[in-house]
């Protein structure tokens, strides 16, 4: 399939001239294209083979001499990241070739090359990334072959989440002569062979294409920072966003860690197996996985890191970092008590920083308890009992020293003593 290029001036490549001869221009070997995601998630590897060609345009020995530059183009999804160089690894009897990324080659391929099978080029939703080698001497000789493995990153999803849409890839390849009177800075024009068949200077081809199903995992830290008390536990819940168009999505093993000095972690679930994905978005239902941090007694107040890592069988990993605030539990009495002189009682407003139970007790004080599931201001009734209540009835007032104790759901307790005078009548 002979395509055409727009005339573009290419900058002189600042690379070392390959000092070994290539037997013929390197063409794409039909049927060699394979795409994989070896890590289970993450980068896609595009694999194919190149070979020398002779007069019959197939893989065969070369029958000409000269000098030329090899061209490659990849049509990949818009936004996919591409490597700066691509290396053609030789099979025995050949020498390596390095292709350097060149935006002008990619632009020329995208604007002028044609797929003679009638399919649009580049395919909708893709961008063309172009590469070119430095000038390479060419000499008559036996068949030579190379393998190419180029790694491309998945394109980002529009909403910043996981990207599991199918990954289309189409390969283009080409060659052009250089040498005396044909410097590497000459305009690139793959129509020369069409215009002047007897003086062929270049060839460009759109080769094979395929679409590959991929998987992606994004882990998100919690929107609200988790808290913990010394001697207690802090639970950090991470959000799992998975998408896939692959036939067999991976299962992930989970590992957590923390920067809390001497702290240890536990995890209620050590694996993550994504559920079925939706056809339109390729995304699985959102899930969470938690890292529970055991905070030692005596841990200094501060903000510490908590990390979770999900690893697929192939080695691909997604990770996220969250913050855990360690603070000492406090119990604070707010304002003045509100007295009920008719009943001889009062109400204390007590503020606590997290989930737990507040107990009010003491000599001559009726026990009162209240619990909360988070930071809150609690109202606790204060009433006299025993001898203190008799004194209140006889004298119309009594002085009490209630003891307040806040026991967090997880962590060491804190105590506070206050004073209050109850009045009757």
Per-residue pLDDT, 191 = 59
Per-residue pLDDT, 184 = 75
The answer to whether residue 19 scores a pLDDT higher than 80 is no
What domains are there in the chain, each with its CATH number? Answer: 8-212 (no CATH), 215-326 (2.60.40.10), 332-423 (2.60.40)
Per-residue pLDDT, 220 = 97
The answer to whether residue 194 scores a pLDDT higher than 70 is no
* pLDDT tens digits along 91-127: 987 889 999 999 888 887 787 666 767 788 899 999 9
Tally of CB atoms within 10 A around 256: 20
Least-confidence region, from 139-143, 253-257, 301-305, 327-331: 139-143
Least-confidence region, from 84-88, 192-196, 244-248, 347-351: 192-196
Percentage of the chain modeled with pLDDT above 90: 69
- Mean model confidence pLDDT for the chain: 88
Backbone φ and ψ of 414, nearest 5°: -130, 145
* pLDDT tens digits along 245-265: 999 889 999 999 999 999 999
Query: What number is the average pLDDT over the span 6-32?
Result: 52
CB of 38 closer than 8 Å to CB of 29: no
Per-residue pLDDT, 10 = 35
Per-residue pLDDT, 201 = 63
Q: pTM here?
A: 0.81
The answer to whether residue 3 scores a pLDDT higher than 70 is no
Query: What number is the average pLDDT over the span 56-62?
Result: 77
Burial of 32 (0-12, 13-18, 19+ CB in 10 A): middle
* pLDDT tens digits along 352-398: 998 999 999 999 999 999 999 989 999 999 999 999 999 999 999 99
Distance from the first to the final alpha carbon of the chain:
105
How open is the CA angle 311-315-316, to the nearest 5 degrees? 65
In terms of Cα–Cα distance, which of 174, 10, 192 is closest to 103? 10
Q: Can you tell me the distance from the alpha carbon of 161 to that of 293, in angstroms, rounded to the nearest whole number?
A: 27
């Amino acid at each position: 399939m002979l395509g055409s290029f727009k005339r573009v001036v290419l900058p002189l490549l600042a690379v070392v001239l390959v000092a070994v001869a290539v037997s013929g221009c390197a063409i794409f070997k039909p049927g060699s294209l394979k795409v994989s995601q070896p890590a289970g998630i993450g980068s896609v590897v595009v694999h194919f083979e190149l070979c020398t060609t002779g007069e019959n345009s197939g893989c065969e020995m070369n029958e000409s001499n000269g000098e030329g530059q090899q061209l490659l183009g990849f049509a990949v999804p818009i936004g996919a990241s591409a490597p700066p160089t691509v290396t053609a690894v030789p099979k025995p009897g050949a020498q390596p070739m390095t292709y350097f990324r060149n935006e002008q080659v990619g632009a020329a391929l995208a604007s002028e090359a044609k797929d003679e099978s009638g399919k649009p080029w580049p395919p909708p939703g893709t961008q063309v990334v172009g590469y070119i080698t430095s000038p390479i001497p060419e000499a008559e000789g036996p068949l030579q072959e190379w393998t190419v493995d180029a790694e491309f990153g998945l394109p980002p999803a529009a909403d910043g989440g996981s990207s599991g849409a199918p990954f289309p890839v189409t390969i283009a390849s080409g060659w052009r002569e250089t040498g005396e009177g044909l410097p590497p800075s000459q305009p690139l024009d793959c129509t020369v062979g069409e215009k002047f068949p007897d003086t062929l200077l270049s060839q460009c081809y759109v080769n094979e294409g395929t679409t590959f199903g991929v998987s992606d995992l994004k882990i998100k830290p919690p929107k609200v920072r988790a808290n913990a008390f010394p001697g207690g536990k802090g639970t950090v819940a991470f959000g799992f966003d998975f998408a896939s168009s692959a036939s067999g999505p991976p299962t992930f093993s989970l590992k957590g860690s923390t920067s809390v000095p001497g702290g240890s972690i536990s995890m209620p679930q050590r694996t993550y197996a994504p559920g079925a994905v939706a056809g339109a978005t390729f995304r699985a239902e959102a899930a969470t996985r938690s890292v529970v941090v055991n905070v030692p007694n005596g841990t200094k107040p501060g903000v510490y890191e908590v990390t979770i890592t999900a690893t697929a069988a192939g080695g691909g990993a997604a990770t996220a970092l969250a913050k855990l605030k360690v603070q000492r539990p406090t119990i604070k009495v707010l304002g003045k008590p509100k007295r009920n002189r008719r009943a001889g009682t009062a109400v204390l407003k007590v503020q606590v920083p997290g989930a737990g139970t507040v107990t009010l007790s003491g000599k001559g004080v009726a026990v009162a308890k209240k619990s909360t599931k988070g930071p809150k201001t609690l109202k606790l009734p204060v009433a006299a009992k025993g001898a203190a209540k008799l004194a209140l009835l006889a004298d119309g007032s009594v002085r009490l020293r209630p003891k307040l104790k806040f026991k967090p759901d997880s962590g060491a307790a804190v105590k506070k003593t206050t004073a209050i005078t109850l009045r009757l009548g």
